[in-house]
Structure 1
Amino acid sequence: MLQRRTTSLVAAAKRFTAGATPANAVRVTMQTKTPLFFGKVLTGDPYINLRVSSVASTTQLATFAIGSRLASLNGGLLNQLLGQMLGTSLSLSAMDYQALADAKVNLFDFMSALATRANLTGVSYDSLLQSNLKVTDIIAALQASGATGAASSALSNVGSSLAGVTTKVTLGDLIDAGPYGDMLVGQQPKVGVDLDALDLLSATAQLANGTHQIATSLNLGLPGIAAVSLQVTVGERPVGSSWITIGQAGASVHTAQTRILATVQLIGSGSVAAVNLPIYVEVAAGTATLNNVSCGYPDIASSTAQLGVSPGIVDAWIGGVTSADMTNFTTKPNPPAATIVDLGAIKVTGRAHVTMANTAPTNVNFSYADIQAQTRKTVNTTSFTSSLTGSLLGDLSLSVQLGPLALPIPGLGPQVVSIISGATGSIDTLLNTVLQTLGVGLGQADVWVAGIRCDGAVLVN
């Protein structure tokens, strides 16, 4: 009898529903009579009924991940951010990064190559992932496990740039091998786990950097922006979580908590030569949880998977956030107003605050075709706005000071607002590009399912 089996806190006797679809378990029952010889003297019955029952359940697994993919690849920005996180200087072109984004690497082939580089033999995948591994070995293993052509050349370039770098990381903070963790390195499970080389490179760079602050200046050539000073701090993922996992319903993956402080110098007009706008953005850890895998039988092409996705809560300010605020992940900043215009005796200060959040996860369905193509789907927060800067501008409170006095100066406040408003699109592009380079979205999360397995079976009762 085909049934549906549910593993939860429900009583064992109620975990099986006969005839439910889609089916993931089968119950076999046998009954017979056997004759009694001496026992019939006690029972008065020459026979006894014997009944046995057993249940087998399929193993329904999915490989899935969470992150954010850049709409366009800016080689200069990637070189600055990834280079600082890796402790070196990178000189890859946008085409190099595109080649890495296009290169597919099998996760288990990569881990096998990594074990060889690290001289680890006879170990399980879990043991490998919990080892302290050199970043240089990780880059070499990426190159050896499927990256070819331009992607291989780009990884060679990265490897050469890392000469002398001795940083080590624990990849278990990124990768969860799930039920295959106990398998010996070199054994191949029957589940698809392909990754983009750029995704793995970027995630490794974040691990290598730890929670150290990155500071750099940017020039993306955006209209209305004269210069940008950027500070970035990436926190740790929730304990016991990962970026990609293989698991059954209930398994989850997370992005890392990320903070950026962009001090944007805007090109002024009239009596206001420049506006210095400090914008702080914090994106909390986003989460994707596997709700279910539905295995098509007998047509595997009808299989589906569903994720419950919660993008990271966004907390954004215009205000005087300090470097100390950036690295203190135990509390959220609540900054004072910042001086955004300084005309000597006349100063303009401003402060604004907005948030984006989800009240509940959004369910995202993946067809078998989506899974085969590793289609990335984007989930927005319920309070998502296409322009974070526009939202901040709507909450902006300005104060004009003449010497020690706070005096209204006709026309100055609206002039400052007009300058900021004219650069809103450029500031949004800047913030989105930086955050996506760090693997997180602004009020958004990209999720994808890289493979499913439906052919495993186990005796459960």
Structure 2
Amino acid sequence: MNLWRRFLADRNGNMAILFAAGFSVSVIVSAFAVDAASLYRERRSLQNGVDLAVLAAARDPTNAATVARAVLVENQLIDPTVTLAALTAASGDLQVQTGTYRPDPALAPSARFVAGATPVNAVRVHFQRRGILHFARGWSEAPMIGAIGTATVTPQVSFSIGSRLASLTDGIANRVLNSLLGTNIALTALDYRNLLDAKVDAFAFLDALALRMGITAGTYADLLQARADHGEIAAALAAVLTGADRTAAQVIANAAGNNGGVPLSKLFNLGDLAQLRIGSGQGQGLFTRISALELLSASAGLSDGNRQVALDLGASLPGVLGLTAELAVGEPPQGGSWYAIGPTGTVVRTAQLRLRLNASVLGGAALLGNLVHLPLYIELAHAEGIVGSATCPSPGHPAGAATILTRPGAARVMVGVVNAASFGDFNTPPHVGLATLVEVKLLGLTVLKVLASSLVEIAQITPVPLTFSSAEIAAGTVKTAHTSTVVSSLSGSLLGNLKLQVPVLGLGLSLDGVGILLKGLLMPITPALDGVVAQLLQTLGLKIGEADVRVYGVRCTQPVLVG
């Protein structure tokens, strides 16, 4: 007992004992600190590797897992002997998901990526492995460390609406385009074909146009705020074309006057590429190559000058003694353009259009040789196409793929009369009055007067999805969206719905007899009238109840990390 008391009272060597105890504790703490710091550094290295892997995989979503593994192997995070199947098994260390990322601020960050959804525009990579312990491995198992990365790309689709120009010939097309362009030239069918087949780079054309307009600084967005007359547009086209194509464009340029300025923003919507400096946009490849004739035709209908066209088509149709036609072309709604480059949600729209036709047919003996007049009025709202989805180009699909949600313009086709004042005013709906089909007079007195009206309406409420594969984009395929309302013959359908009013009956004819007589006279000419309507609209790239869409290419921006 005394020995124990002396030991407790002895203060010699206290510092050595305290130092030994403190050193032991510091060694243990240091060991934990070293291992913790090592794991943290390893975790950061793992995250860097995963970020590189997901950025590479986002460029080729169809082979995302293969690409991600290759990057991780290259960064020495995966043993090259471990197969992809083993890594991506249900319990594997590498999980790769493709899906859709929506940068919607209203969504929680965790909800913005939806695995397995379409369109595929994002990749998520989750990789884990056991960390390395330096001091604690003798008594503790190394923890699992992992990293998650999500990257997205934004496909940019280059597309246009209203491409019904392959069947253009001379004749009516010349007369319509001459009126809209303010020229007096005669292009042959070969000229049209050359211009249709001639492809120009949109940015090369805009550079040439800027030079002609004296705009040498600024961005393409600045250029698109300007207006250009048809002569400047045709001359800019001629500057970037060669051979016979250049000659045809130069003929138009030499003849075109200033028929009002064309608002360039109604022709082109370049999306993010509009921020490029003028002169720096070329080199986008097939992605921005468009038809010279489609560009001319679209610009012809967008002039803010005299957009009305009057044509006397004479008696060139079988059974028709006279035929006149008038066209009025309006601008697309705000925010619409004929050609656009942009991501999902980008819109292209056609112009509004009104058409008046008046056909005259000999009434025969029953009507004492009087003419029967059939006035038709056609009103087309704008058709539109919206990028619904797009897939980036890949080695197996070099042009990418896209789906355009297309809504053909609603149409109203009527038998009726529209006065000239309201016909060209697109700010107000015109009044369509009753049409006087025939008026028979004897000795100055009206013995028979037939008033008529008829209406056929065509509309497509639900957009029609038009899907373009990589091969179809490369081939320049034009696809058509049709309305669900099918009308085989517009004129025939109108006559079938004809409502007659006969204020004065005479000549021994009943109301039913008048209807039978008039339909018998008019029905044979309906196929010819349908053909005239179709050819007039084709000149402007339009058709009733249909909308044509062409996708020129899909290009993807550099992938960006989003989570």
Provide the TM-score with structure 2 as the length reference: 0.73
In the alignment, which residue of structure 1 is the partner of 2:523? Answer: 421
CA distance in 2, matches of 1:404, 1:11: 78
> 1:197–1:54: structure 2 CA closer, same or farther, 3 Å change rule?
same
Correspondence list, 1:53-452, <5 A? 54-70=149-165, 72-146=167-241, 148-162=242-256, 165=258, 167-187=260-280, 188=282, 190=284, 192-210=287-305, 212-219=307-314, 221-272=316-367, 273=369, 274-295=371-392, 297-301=394-398, 303-344=400-441, 345=446, 346-402=448-504, 408=510, 411-452=513-554
| Identity, % of aligned positions | 37
User: Runs of 5+ in structure 1 lacking a partner?
Assistant: 36-46
Q: Give the match's secondary structure for 2:173.
A: helix
Q: Which has the higher strand share?
A: 1
- Structure 1 position 296, deviation (Å): 5.5
CA distance in 2, matches of 1:22, 1:409: 60
CA distance in 2, matches of 1:407, 1:265: 21
CA distance in 2, matches of 1:399, 1:317: 16
Of residues 226-235 and 443-452 in structure 1, the stretch that sits farther from structure 2 once superposed is 226-235
> 1:329–1:22: structure 2 CA closer, same or farther, 3 Å change rule?
closer
Q: Which has the higher helix share?
A: 2
Of residues 192-201 and 341-350 in structure 1, the stretch that sits farther from structure 2 once superposed is 341-350
> 1:385–1:210: structure 2 CA closer, same or farther, 3 Å change rule?
farther
In the alignment, which residue of structure 1 is the partner of 2:13? Answer: none
CA distance in 2, matches of 1:328, 1:166: 18
8 A Cα contact 2:100 2:119, kept in partner:
no
Deviations 1:409-441 (A, max 9, x none): 674431211111000100111111112212221
> 1:220–1:244: structure 2 CA closer, same or farther, 3 Å change rule?
farther
CA distance in 2, matches of 1:271, 1:405: 8
CA RMSD of superposed structures (Å): 3.0
Are residues 1:11 and 2:96 paired?
no
> 1:144–1:2: structure 2 CA closer, same or farther, 3 Å change rule?
farther
> 1:71–1:121: structure 2 CA closer, same or farther, 3 Å change rule?
closer
8 A Cα contact 1:320 1:335, kept in partner:
yes
> 1:308–1:22: structure 2 CA closer, same or farther, 3 Å change rule?
closer
CA distance in 2, matches of 1:406, 1:439: 48
- Structure 1 position 306, deviation (Å): 0.6
> 1:149–1:18: structure 2 CA closer, same or farther, 3 Å change rule?
same
Indicate which of 446, 457, 461 corresponds to 2:559. Answer: 457
CA distance in 2, matches of 1:314, 1:23: 36
> 1:20–1:235: structure 2 CA closer, same or farther, 3 Å change rule?
closer
User: Runs of 5+ in structure 2 lacking a partner?
Assistant: 1-95, 134-141
> 1:410–1:259: structure 2 CA closer, same or farther, 3 Å change rule?
closer
CA distance in 2, matches of 1:369, 1:415: 54
Which residue identity lines up with residue 60 of structure 1 in the other structure? P
Of residues 228-237 and 292-301 in structure 1, the stretch that sits farther from structure 2 once superposed is 292-301
- Structure 1 position 292, deviation (Å): 0.5
Q: Give the match's secondary structure for 1:81.
A: helix
8 A Cα contact 1:258 1:284, kept in partner:
yes
CA distance in 2, matches of 1:255, 1:280: 19
CA distance in 1, matches of 2:124, 2:146: 13
Of residues 424-433 and 61-70 in structure 1, the stretch that sits farther from structure 2 once superposed is 61-70
Q: Give the match's secondary structure for 2:154.
A: strand
- Structure 1 position 178, deviation (Å): 1.0
- Structure 1 position 220, deviation (Å): 7.9
> 1:156–1:212: structure 2 CA closer, same or farther, 3 Å change rule?
closer
8 A Cα contact 1:255 1:285, kept in partner:
yes
Q: Give the match's secondary structure for 2:558.
A: strand
Q: Greater CA radius of gyration, 1 or 2?
A: 2
